[in-house]
A and B are shown apart, each in its own frame.
Chain A
């Protein structure tokens, strides 16, 4: 199949307006004859479900959590970008577009990114109207702060809990539609598969997580708003339940998966302390405004620190290497996430890491406390310092934080066209689950923007065009495809439950995570990736032989839920490795050691790799087929990113 991104013709700034006019509409009286399924209730899902219901469509919304409000968008800390230019500092839609496309290291579509920047301003208006309590100045107007990768202040925020407040806003809009009877909400339901009829998505199969009932649901269109797959690494800043299952099942039903190897490793997370660790906690990017990142100058000093023979506070100033300030005098500690992460790894690889494990560097506030006083630092970062002390039992006011990079976000996801439709007709993908807007690296405060842009301001327009074309003929689950799909879901569950080996699913997950982190993490090589591919294949085969899954289907069975998700990660991991192998260049978060500049920075190969890699599933244990969507840049000049 030839990929058609359906990007409208014409000048960049007019593409979206023109496209909106050209899209077909569904007349108001006919909207109530359509049913739309929305899977996932994070920012993208909740905003889409509410907005579509407001238009008059009947919506069925699903989430695996016990409440739509608990989707992982809730945990986003920093903020949301919008080109409001309230600060009069030179921001514009074009500048936000440019920063985002450059920040993504020129691996995203111009048309999509421009639209994102364009609707960003509407998002803030919408959220404020809902009662989202953004930070304000004494004059009563909205406050902004700066984030990495831009030179203007365009980030709106609600203390360190912006994601929570935005999600509660979208959740309230969703609740209003539930109240009005336009949305039927299914909580504690997991999507197990997509049902396609003649190549078009016509419904889904779900499992009721409380009693195990396998149910089928029909609709005119299906929207997947199911988040990212960072948990393939086992340890990440994602919630425990975050998974790829919905997207992966759609992939197996014909939706291409794009740029799976593009993952974001966030530089400032609390380091791992032991094998029991279940997740990692982010320390907001904002800390790098005042914190200085350093490692001991020599391996000997690092060893003494690790063994406890030397206290960090006793280390002399001349024995400290502020490596980001040394290497990047222009940006210093505020280099983008990918650059900061790689440099921390370099220190650890050289043997200069600290903490008992030796896998950490310092983030030091002593200078800021000296300059601003402890009270000011507390006012700015108090909740983060408390969180750090809670977890590590160390006082960051008295000694530097230990930090290390961790998996945070996935830029890759299901391939979608300009209308957010996947390669399966009637199947749409929104938010982090799709691949469309962040290229090879996402800038801070852009994830919330994209989720809400897709849900509030893109899908309500683009979905109508498809629905108008297929017509409002009633849908039901009588087509044999529903029963067939349901049968395959039941078979797979039975297969999982029949596993009575010796290892828990969690143990496989941890091993997979080690492989992914080691060979498909912050630095990748051809040799390592080939090795990883073999290891993952062997691990997956072993899982289906020796794993142990407890209980039965007809009950609340968290062990079974988990095992199903891990089985999908074991397949996705291999595709990520394939994608990383194919892309023999470095770009953004994808760093191939073979492709770097003389100074050790990511070196792109625009002649050969300026494409989105869309992978087509070809059957179990078969190599996937690569389709290339060439990226055309008419409005920006591709250049080497430099932060020196």
Chain B
């Protein structure tokens, strides 16, 4: 099939970007979306042009690097997958495909389709851990955890940190991402000692990074490649209010 691509090109964070149109011809339906871009890029390099820059690494939907906004949707038209798992059979001959980076103030563009998502790291650094040192911990089976609780914590822990939730949200809110980590720890016994301290620290950092507020639209949940539930946001809000009203600690 032959496609027309409208791709966001931006030299660096300091310059203004714009859409550039490219042709992608003889695209095989078995190609992945990123492989289609690889082919376009090979041609650009041969012509002496700058290839389209985008983040990608594992190409099997787990590292969270890939982050393309395709035809108005984070990770493209299909549910429950990252961009790298999208295949060209999801498109038709002569389609026009619009490709943009994540759009959020807290995720500034580095170049073309690659953005700086280090704000997510800083939120985790603020409190997304259990304070245990290596060694000196009890035997693993000393801490029994009901299977349903362990499974639910796991569901929250499947977040790949791609940022699609932020890109999908009209407020560019990071609540789904932050609440998934907060929930994982809050559900597990290991996370209890720092439960209220953690939620305050992470929310404070989230706000400092310039993410917007949650207005319960649910776009984040709909676009999340790991289908993380907004129940996590309710859990985080509960813990946050509990912390602020009854257990405030200096963080």
Min CB–CB distance B29 → chain A (angstroms) = 8
User: A residues within 8 A CB of B132?
Assistant: 126, 129-130, 173
Report if A608 contacts B (CB, 8 A).
no
Min CB–CB distance B64 → chain A (angstroms) = 6
User: B residues within 8 A CB of A393?
Assistant: 29-30, 87, 89
User: A residues within 8 A CB of B53?
Assistant: 556, 558
Report if B134 contacts A (CB, 8 A).
yes
Report if B94 contacts A (CB, 8 A).
no
B45 and A161 contacting across the interface, CB-CB below 8 Å: no
Query: Which of A134-142, A288-296, A398-406 binds B?
Result: A134-142
A140 and B145 contacting across the interface, CB-CB below 8 Å: yes
Q: How far is the CA of A393 from the CA of B87 in the complex (A)?
A: 9
User: A residues within 8 A CB of B131?
Assistant: 176
Q: How far is the CA of A187 from the CA of B35 in the complex (A)?
A: 25
Most buried by B among A51, A66, A168, A210: A66
A141 and B154 contacting across the interface, CB-CB below 8 Å: no
Smallest CB gap from B89: residue in A: A393
Given contacts A86-B141, A175-B129, contact A278 B124 (CB under 8 A): no
Report if A29 contacts B (CB, 8 A).
no
Report if B184 contacts A (CB, 8 A).
yes
Q: How far is the CA of A70 from the CA of B160 in the complex (A)?
A: 9
1/0 per residue, CB under 8 A from B, across A275-289: the answer is: 011110110000000
Report if B114 contacts A (CB, 8 A).
yes
Q: How far is the CA of A65 from the CA of B57 in the complex (A)?
A: 8
Q: How far is the CA of A173 from the CA of B31 in the complex (A)?
A: 38
Report if A164 contacts B (CB, 8 A).
yes
6 A-B residue pairs with Cβ-Cβ distance under 8 Å, sorted by A, are A72-B57, A175-B129, A387-B61, A502-B46, A555-B12, A555-B111
Report if B125 contacts A (CB, 8 A).
yes
1/0 per residue, CB under 8 A from A, across B112-149: the answer is: 00101110110011111111111101111101111100
Most buried by A among B35, B49, B150, B153: B150
Q: How far is the CA of A133 from the CA of B157 in the complex (A)?
A: 8
1/0 per residue, CB under 8 A from A, across B74-97: the answer is: 000000010001010100000000
Min CB–CB distance A488 → chain B (angstroms) = 26
Report if A11 contacts B (CB, 8 A).
no
Smallest CB gap from A503: residue in B: B46
Min CB–CB distance A391 → chain B (angstroms) = 7
User: B residues within 8 A CB of A65?
Assistant: 57, 63, 65
Report if A124 contacts B (CB, 8 A).
yes
A550 and B50 contacting across the interface, CB-CB below 8 Å: yes
Report if B98 contacts A (CB, 8 A).
no
Report if A165 contacts B (CB, 8 A).
yes
Q: How far is the CA of A168 from the CA of B128 in the complex (A)?
A: 10
Report if B212 contacts A (CB, 8 A).
no
Contact residues of B: prevailing secondary structure: loop
Report if B32 contacts A (CB, 8 A).
yes
User: A residues within 8 A CB of B118?
Assistant: 66-67, 187
Q: How far is the CA of A187 from the CA of B114 in the complex (A)?
A: 14
Taking A129-B190, A391-B32, A457-B134 as given, write out 7 further A-B residue pairs in contact, using a Cβ cutoff of 8 Å, ordered by the A residue number.
Answer: A69-B64, A125-B137, A136-B145, A139-B144, A390-B85, A504-B42, A555-B12
User: A residues within 8 A CB of B63?
Assistant: 65, 70, 72, 74-75, 239
Given contacts A131-B185, A140-B144, A161-B62, contact A550 B129 (CB under 8 A): no
User: A residues within 8 A CB of B143?
Assistant: 128-129
Q: Which of B177-218 contact A (CB under 8 A)?
A: 184-185, 188, 190-191
Min CB–CB distance B151 → chain A (angstroms) = 8
User: B residues within 8 A CB of A279?
Assistant: 59-60
Given contacts A70-B57, A136-B145, contact A173 B65 (CB under 8 A): no
Min CB–CB distance B104 → chain A (angstroms) = 15
Report if B39 contacts A (CB, 8 A).
yes
1/0 per residue, CB under 8 A from B, across A378-390: the answer is: 0000000001001
Report if B110 contacts A (CB, 8 A).
yes
A165 and B157 contacting across the interface, CB-CB below 8 Å: yes
B137 and A273 contacting across the interface, CB-CB below 8 Å: no
B129 and A173 contacting across the interface, CB-CB below 8 Å: yes
1/0 per residue, CB under 8 A from B, across A230-255: the answer is: 00000000011100000000000000
Q: How far is the CA of A440 from the CA of B28 in the complex (A)?
A: 38
Cβ contact of B129, chosen from A124, A172, A240, A274, cutoff 8 A: A172
